[in-house]
Amino acid sequence: MSNKINKVAITGGTHGNELTGVYLINKYKKNPDLVKREGFETVFMHTNVGAMEKCTRYVDKDLNRTFIKNDLANDMLYSYEDILAKNINAKLGPKGSEKTAVDFIVDLHSTTSDMGLSIVIDNDNKLTWQVVAYLKEIEPNLHIFRWKGDTKEVSFVNSITKDGFAIEVGPIPQGVLRADLFFETEKLVGYILDYFEKLNAGKLGKKYKTIEIYDHIKLLDFPRGEDGDINATVHPNLQDNGYFKLTKGDPLFVTLEGEIIKYKEDKEAYALFINEAAYYEKGFAMCLTEKKVIDI
């Protein structure tokens, strides 16, 4: 783990209709002292201005699935988000290099699923996990989700750097700014920056050894008919929940005719990103996870 952090990036607007990050970056632009700390530089940026202007998730394709190294090097990919990804990678990366322009990226998101305040991690680097354990100690209700993805290579904005993660807050409808979760996100960003200030000054009191997480098992699609159309939706027991415990025999889906489809696995799981609006196009209704304590 590096003993010195030189530059941290806070990014928002990766999905243009997730307004928590959009407006928090706006606030930082007007009040840069809010993210100023001793010993390192904090930069902040909107990542997908085109989608923000339209208040849509993206213009041509999901920017948060666009940071694949081969794609970043492919000049034949020239969609709006492909070009954006190359520009962002040049400013913050480049991805995969020994020395990136910034040391840590925090990307701000929201979800229509009721997941409260959550961290989504896609790497196993020690610094990342130490930051998250510090946050969990301050905010006991914070949920930690280790994502294993829907792409072969992690392709999130925060994957440009070795260390970093996404903040997910919800439930928030797309295109809506919700006050309580806006301020909760802002507070969490402040704690992250405080951590790096203490780290650089040698004032951290301890190193964390374990943490409780929700570990990715699989992405679960809606039941579909022979024509490929959805023929069942999330059961009301799960709707408006996050980190919902499932045991064998629990209602999972309900068909449009009212028939209940039950959870059939012997092993219990926890469901999250339940009925997330943005994931209909991706073909999954929820993510199933295992609750566990891991060494960090």
Quick count: other Cβ atoms within 10 Å of Cβ 45? 16
Give me the mean pLDDT over the 28-56 stretch: 98
The distance from CA 209 to its chain's CA centroid, rounded to whole angstroms, is 23
Do 161 and 252 belong to one domain? Answer: no
pLDDT classification of 149: cutoffs 50, 70, 90: confident
- Beta pairing partners, 232: 255
Assigned domain for 2 exists: no
Establish if 235 belongs to a structural domain: yes
Q: Are 61 and 164 found together in one domain?
A: yes
151 and 121 housed in the same domain? yes
Domain of residue 244, CATH code? 2.20.25.160
Task: Examine the domain organization and report whether 21 and 138 are in the same domain.
Answer: yes
| Same structural domain, 31 and 60 | yes
Higher pLDDT, 149 or 227: 227
Helix ranges, the chain (H): 19-30, 49-54, 69-72, 80-92, 126-138, 179-201
pLDDT digits (tens, 9 = 90+) for 52-104: 999 999 999 999 999 999 999 999 999 999 999 999 999 999 999 999 999 99
Residue 252 resides in a domain: yes
Residue 156 lies in a domain: yes
Check whether residue 11 and residue 142 sit in a common domain. yes
Residue-wise pLDDT tens digits, 215-264: 999 999 999 999 999 999 999 999 999 999 999 999 999 999 999 999 99
Specify if 240 maps to a domain.
Answer: yes
Per-residue pLDDT band for 3 (boundaries 50, 70, 90) equals low
**What are the phi and psi torsion angles at 186 (to 5°)?**
-60, -40
* Residue 204 sits in the same domain as residue 81: yes
- Indicate whether 81 and 61 sit together in one domain: yes
Report pLDDT for 1: 46
Mean pLDDT of the chain: 96
> For residue 145, what are the domain limits?
7-208
Q: Are residues 158 and 121 in the same domain?
A: yes
Identify the bridge partners of residue 197 per DSSP, sorted by sequence position.
none
**pLDDT score at 205:** 83
| pLDDT-above-70 percentage for the chain | 99
> Which of 208, 225, 259 corresponds to the end of one domain?
208
196 in a structural domain: yes
